[in-house]
Structure 1
Amino acid sequence: MRESNPCILVVEDDPLLADITAFRLELLGFDVQTVETAEDAIELCEESHVDVVIVDLELAGMKGLELINQLQLGEETHETPILVFSTDPSLDVVQKAFKAGAKDYLVTPYDPAVLEHKIERLLSPETIT
């Protein structure tokens, strides 16, 4: 059993979506941090332990796919599961996200129950590769 609640980092530049997601995850008992930029996400991941990262593909500045690549290369973050948020359900975009290193994909707006299921699955020991 975990000594503390799992920490989830939400990298989302839409304040409303970030707040709704953080609120939902906090209700489920997770510790949640939100940042608006990929650069802030990298800095936070270097400073503290994060159990799951949720990345929006359409961030201002460094895009989500580039952030995923950076996290995959990081010594502290290369095994951290990544869930992608995107408004684009196209197969091409989904494949690019998985090739970059994402472990799951969620089209926004999303069903909160689906978010919960995906996070629980990403946190389960069987999911870690």
Structure 2
Amino acid sequence: MRKNKHFILVVEDDPLLADITAFRLELLGFEVHTVENSEAALAQVEEKQVDLVIVDLELAGMKGLDLIHQLQVHEKSFQTPVLVFSTDPSLDVVQKAFKAGAKDYLVTPYDPAVLEHKIELLLSPQAVS
């Protein structure tokens, strides 16, 4: 169990992937909330301090890249790191995610150990810009 329980918001419209990810993160001691779309994610950011947002790029409605941009300009989340989930490993898509403001990128399906490592790096004090 972690001393300082970080709150992670998972924005994923695939219920199975959202549940699996949330379960894994809860086992690691994180507080996790899942939402299915960008609009719900922005509402959650209004309600609670979020330490990390995990965003699926292929969301219905407002796409993941648009959500990342919105998070970067929102007064409550502009410093919150964003980790992208995507099935697309192409360099063009990865570059677009980083340009939008993502701090890291993970191709799904993912290795749980890689996810844990990326989250630890993103939440470390040195990761704060």
TM-score, scaled relative to structure 2: 0.97
Stretches of 4+ aligned residues off by more than 6 angstroms: none
Quote the offset at 1:39 in angstroms.
0.1
Letter of the 1:61 partner, please give it.
G
Query: Which deviations, in whole Å up to 9, do the C-alpha atoms of 1:10-63 show, x marking residues without a partner?
Result: 000000000000000000000000000000000000110100000000000000
Quote the offset at 1:80 in angstroms.
0.1
Letter of the 1:66 partner, please give it.
D
Query: Which deviations, in whole Å up to 9, do the C-alpha atoms of 1:52-90 show, x marking residues without a partner?
Result: 000000000000000000000000100000000000000
Structure 2 distance, partners of 1:8, 1:119, is 10
Partner of residue 49, structure 1: 49
SS at match of 1:126: helix
1:86 corresponds to 2:86? yes
Letter of the 1:42 partner, please give it.
L
Partner of residue 7, structure 2: 7
1:112 corresponds to 2:109? no
Letter of the 2:77 partner, please give it.
T
Partner of residue 36, structure 2: 36
Partner of residue 72, structure 2: 72
Structure 1 distance, partners of 2:62, 2:3, is 34
Partner of residue 22, structure 1: 22
Letter of the 1:109 partner, please give it.
P
Quote the offset at 1:128 in angstroms.
1.1
Structure 1 distance, partners of 2:88, 2:15, is 19
Quote the offset at 1:3 in angstroms.
6.0
TM-score, scaled relative to structure 1: 0.97
- Root mean square deviation of aligned Cα: 1.0
SS at match of 1:97: helix
Letter of the 1:99 partner, please give it.
K
Structure 1 distance, partners of 2:126, 2:48, is 24
